[in-house]
Amino acid sequence: MKKGIHPEYQDSSITCACGSVMQTRSTVKEMAVNTCSKCHPFYTGKATLLDTEGRVEQFNRRYGRAKAE
């Protein structure tokens, strides 16, 4: 490795919008993020699947088979 061309690898802190602070190592001293594993809906179990207009039913009405007569 060449000397003097690599950034300094140091302790850093990541601050989330929810207030959570995580300690890690990086070339950047401080970082701010919008979501983390403590507040993201996927990790908290609060994620929901929205089917606002019944997309499957709407598709079947438009392109589904015609009813047998």
Q: How high is the pLDDT of residue 49?
A: 65
Alpha-carbon distance of 37 to 22, in angstroms, equals 11
Q: How high is the pLDDT of residue 66?
A: 60
Q: How high is the pLDDT of residue 56?
A: 77
Q: Per-residue DSSP letters for 1-69?
A: --TT-SPP-EEEEEEETTS-EEEEEESSSEEEES--TTT-HHHHT------TT-HHHHHHHHHSPPPP-
Does the predicted model carry a pTM greater than 0.75?
Answer: no
Q: What are the pLDDT digits (tens) for 15-69?
A: 998 899 999 999 999 999 988 888 887 777 776 666 666 777 888 888 886 655 4
Name all domains of the chain by residue range, CATH numbers in brackets.
10-61 (4.10.80.400)
- Dihedral class, residue 45 (left if φ above 0, else alpha if ψ from -120 to 50, else beta): left
